[in-house]
Amino acid sequence: MPAIKKTTKRSLLVTSAALLSLSLTAAPVVADDEPSPSTTPSATPPADMSTVGGARLGLPGTQADLGSGAPVLPKDVTARSWIVTDAESGDVLASHNAHWRLPPASTLKMLFADTLLPKFPRTERHKVAVADLADLGEGSSLVGIKEDETYTVHDLWLGVFLRSGNDAVHVLSAMNGGVAQTVEQMQAHAEDLQALDTHVVTPDGYDEKGQVSSAYDLSLFARSGLQKKDFREYCSTVRAKFPGETKKDKKGKVSRESFEIQNTNRLLTGDSDISTYQGIAGVKNGNTTNAGATFTGVAERNGKVLLVTVMNPEKHEHNEVYKEAAQLLDWGFKAAGKVTPVGELVPPKSAGTSTQAGSTPSGGPSSGASAAGKGATSPVAASAGAKDGTSGVGTALAVVGGLLVLLAGGAFLVNRRWPLPDLVRRRR
């Protein structure tokens, strides 16, 4: 397919929370997406895959069109499927089996969040019933929600994004009318986004027969979700306080302390064998027996915003999915402007006639075409403030003129219309 024309000036950058220097305290949680008993999918991609976004994206193997001066692709990337895209224009810079339908693990929570985030104000409170936590898969990742305790919607979303808590997903699903209705709405939203490789069976990404997505679709979910201020905030938050269990002492005094939770995205937090990635601002990771390790990330450098999705590296080393994602991002930043796109991230079906449902960021103004035509770039801070209990002790957020300054030295401006449908309308 022909290369997509670039927009005249990109004002959008992504936002990220301040990276704090606190160590994680002990918390009653289970590791992110503990593998569930299942079988490993075939290691051979199908010969006939979807061509949404371009004919080359439906071909098996690596797709890239390197121009003069473009760096070669990293040779030690072992993922069954991956894709590197320009988050703003939608250009696919390179891909490998982009439409291979594979189990997504907790990266499917991006679709869950993009579907449900607009439904409940963050201050709404909910008392957890026994039924809310029914049917959690064995070995599910948990944030530590307790029955008969009350949580705010804000608390629950922190549990979803930071600890990949299936318990938080099930509580929000219960508030939304139940798991079945939530799954139905997620499937409908996926179809509107033209994520046609995706079949939703569970809202949390837990391994179930028939539940699949693709690197292409996961990138669509991330790109859509990142239009929302709350989504950007939660996926980029490194550490937060989460409400614990209410206790009564011998004198009858009732108290409820909180414990600290940390994001399981190692490109945000770093680890023993991997550093925090320069410019990282989210998005979501996962790991199950069927899916292996999966990851979608967004990062910004020098005004360029890239998305990367990596699914199931064949090399089973510690943090391998993050290492391969970092290599692909490094390549993408060096290759930008030196490659011919091999496809595009398509706009939602609804973007052709009206603003995408839920595309206005929560807390932000309407993103009409007239405002976009004036090039409005009103920045807002998208980190959770101390009043929400998401800032770490000893480090302050510096917000000046809407600029969020990171401890890592990077900074991200937030455009309230990011990046669809207005950029698509103007490009057309």
Q: How far apart are CA 276 and CA 222, in angstroms?
A: 20
Selected residue with higher pLDDT from 383 and 171: 171
Q: pLDDT-based confidence at 41, cuts 50/70/90?
A: low
User: Tell me, what's the pLDDT at 114?
Assistant: 98
* Site of tokens 């292409």: 216
In terms of Cα–Cα distance, which of 283, 287, 278, 279 is closest to 265? 283
Q: Is the pLDDT of residue 402 over 80?
A: no
At 176, which amino acid appears?
N
In percent, the amount of the chain with pLDDT more than 70 equals 72
Q: pLDDT-based confidence at 259, cuts 50/70/90?
A: very high
Q: Is the pLDDT of residue 18 over 70?
A: no
Mean pLDDT within 28-49: 58
User: Tell me, what's the pLDDT at 350?
Assistant: 87
Q: How far apart are CA 133 and CA 229, in angstroms?
A: 28
Q: pLDDT-based confidence at 351, cuts 50/70/90?
A: confident
- pTM summary value: 0.77
Using DSSP's 3-state secondary structure scheme, residue 119 falls into helix
User: Tell me, what's the pLDDT at 42?
Assistant: 62
Digit-coded pLDDT (tens) for 314-328: 998 999 999 999 999
The average confidence (pLDDT) of the chain is: 79
Q: How far apart are CA 249 and CA 314, in angstroms?
A: 52
* Site of tokens 């990266």: 107
Digit-coded pLDDT (tens) for 378-394: 222 233 333 333 332 22
The values of phi and psi at residue 344, to 5°, are: -150, 155
In terms of Cα–Cα distance, which of 93, 17, 7, 64 is closest to 303? 7
